[in-house]
Amino acid sequence: MRKQRLLALLSATSLAVGIIVSIPVAANAAPACDGKVPVQSCAGVTSDGAPYAMMVPANFNGTVALYSHGYRYNIDIPAGIPIVGGYKITNTPEPVPGGNMTVASYLFSQGVAIVGSGFARQGWNLDSALATNVELIDTFKKAFPTTKKVVAWGSSLGGAITQALAETHPELISSAAPMCMADTSVNAELTMAGDFLWGVKTLFDPTIKGGNYSAGAAGNGEAITDIVKVLTVMGKLQAGVASGAWPDTSSATGKALAANGIPSRSALLLLGLMSGLPTQSAHFDSLSGPAGALKLTFPLAISPALAILENGTNAAILAILATQDVELQAGGAIFDNTKTDYSARVENEKVIYNAALSGNTVINALLGALSTANPGAPRVVGNAAAIAKMNSLQHNTGKINVPTILMVGVADPITPAGASQLVVDKYAVQFAEEKAAAFKAAKVSGYVAPRSKLLMLWNQTSGKGYTTFDPTTGSPIATTPAAQGTNHCNFTTSQLLMVAKTLVSSGETGQLPRGGALVTAVRKAGSLAIDPLFRAPLLKYYNEQG
């Protein structure tokens, strides 16, 4: 199979091109506005040094949409590194998702203003960004005193920032739309990514540092070196998918497994399953096969491993960059798997993917190799004080205070659908309590049925399959655009518009739409579903934490 670019990492690096404003030097001053029509642009800097941009149409109706962008790396990535190379730290304001001017133009046409910040720090910044957004809302209202409603939305980490704003300051916003939202706990996200990276290090390249990075420039160099090693290993695994060959950098444990005839693709798949990565990815659906002898074998035995190859590359790079970032904030190593039972993690998956894992004998051998009983697979011991500091960072509860729209791809490898599912589960309990309270109140003032404040939109993958194959060689093609429901925050303009319309209408009316009009809007947006029977698996972190 040809080596291909695996996929672009983190839509958060797609910045607001086309929205260019000049930033005043003085922080905490009133925004500087150009006064242009039909849309005027304003810019400024909050008291914590976060640059922001405001765009206000001449027909401003009193509603402003506050957008929070996703995770941006807090170190520069050299241009020579594939996939993520050429990234420079930026705090460019992003008042609409990815600078999507079609979405911005729609909002302007409705008289809705837009605002967004570049934030004071990059990386995991939930606490910092929350404070910035609170100040930014106040700044906008002072500059535009006819403001009546503030609606908030965001993507990825920005989704978690939006949820935090709705939880802690529901008096400031009227509706919220956390899209492809990071989990309520940074621990859950870093556990997923850290488990996979630990597995890659343990089996395929023990020279990967994988955490406990040094401070300053030395740590940056260590992280970048790890990224290069991960990409190199993934390239070797990709080349050996069909043959089952192991990378020449494999550990003694990995080489022993290889000597026993265990295919590297089965080991790779197990690492993905124990971490909780989706087995559908941008180009591999685990359903389709090429014409000929591999028609049935490919989706059963090979495609899941290739999906983990794509998704796992994202997860491993996230583990490196986000772990280094949070370690710096916490003051030490924050990943610890000394008590993790990886065998329990895959209790169900080892049945479902038995063929792709090459059967029970191989599964048991792999789990034995990754167990605490094997000195060749040393566990990582975290720094207790650093873990405590990490736990003190902003954690969302999942409480729904205002009309809220969630949207996520069912096979998102960075912010898995399970992060949104956790909020759905928590709201089911909350809504039941609200109903019980309404029944209790009915004895005094009559029954008033509570109305649901949560709309869950699942961005689905195609049930018919989407993997394509070279008609001559039968090799899968991995250069086509990522399939819907896969990759990170991979939404179409139609889907973003659907969320924007619902966000604004629910903010202005205080109620989410429902019934036929909602069903029609969801259908027209494409690939979206409202399915109360669908359940995304929670992140593996919760298998241990309850």
CATH of the domain at 178: 3.40.50.1820
- Tell me, yes or no, whether 146 and 242 share the same domain: no
Residue 372 lies in a domain: yes
Question: Lowest mean pLDDT: which of 15-29, 329-343, 488-502, 522-536?
Answer: 15-29
Q: Are strands 32-33 and 39-45 parallel, antiparallel or unpaired?
A: antiparallel
Q: What is the DSSP letter of 510?
A: S
What percent of the chain lies above the pLDDT cut of 70? 95
Per residue in 315-335, pLDDT (tens digit) is: 899 889 999 999 999 999 999
Mean pLDDT of 344-353: 96
CA-based torsion, 120, 193, 75, 327: positive or negative: positive
Answer whether 365's CB lies under 8 Å from 254's CB.
no
Residue 35 lies in a domain: yes
Answer whether 202's CB lies under 8 Å from 444's CB.
no
CA gap 96, 11 in Å, rounded: 13
- Tell me, yes or no, whether 178 and 50 share the same domain: yes
- Tell me, yes or no, whether 270 and 315 share the same domain: yes
Asked which of 369, 391, 413 is the last residue of a domain, the reply is 391
Residue 1 lies in a domain: no
pLDDT band at 447 (very low <50, low <70, confident <90, very high): confident
Whole-number Cα distances in Å, 466 to 2, 241, 287, 303, 477: 19, 20, 8, 12, 10
Q: What is the DSSP letter of 486?
A: B
Mean pLDDT of 260-273: 98
- Tell me, yes or no, whether 180 and 263 share the same domain: no
Residue 428 lies in a domain: yes
Residue 3 lies in a domain: no
Q: What is the DSSP letter of 302?
A: I
CA gap 337, 243 in Å, rounded: 31
**Which of 247, 254, 265 lies closest to 369 in space, CA to CA?**
254
Residue 4 lies in a domain: no
- Tell me, yes or no, whether 206 and 312 share the same domain: yes
At 325 the pLDDT is 96
Residue 197 lies in a domain: yes
Asked which of 365, 391, 417 is the last residue of a domain, the reply is 391
- Tell me, yes or no, whether 256 and 353 share the same domain: yes
Answer whether 13's CB lies under 8 Å from 72's CB.
yes
CA gap 216, 387 in Å, rounded: 20
Mean pLDDT of 71-96: 93
CA 307 remoteness from chain centre: 17
Residue type, 95: P
At 542 the pLDDT is 92
**What is the count of structural domains for the chain?**
2
Asked which of 391, 408, 443 is the last residue of a domain, the reply is 391
**Domain coverage including residue 179:** 11-184+396-545
- Tell me, yes or no, whether 204 and 84 share the same domain: no
CA gap 339, 353 in Å, rounded: 25
CA-based torsion, 168, 502, 144, 43: positive or negative: positive
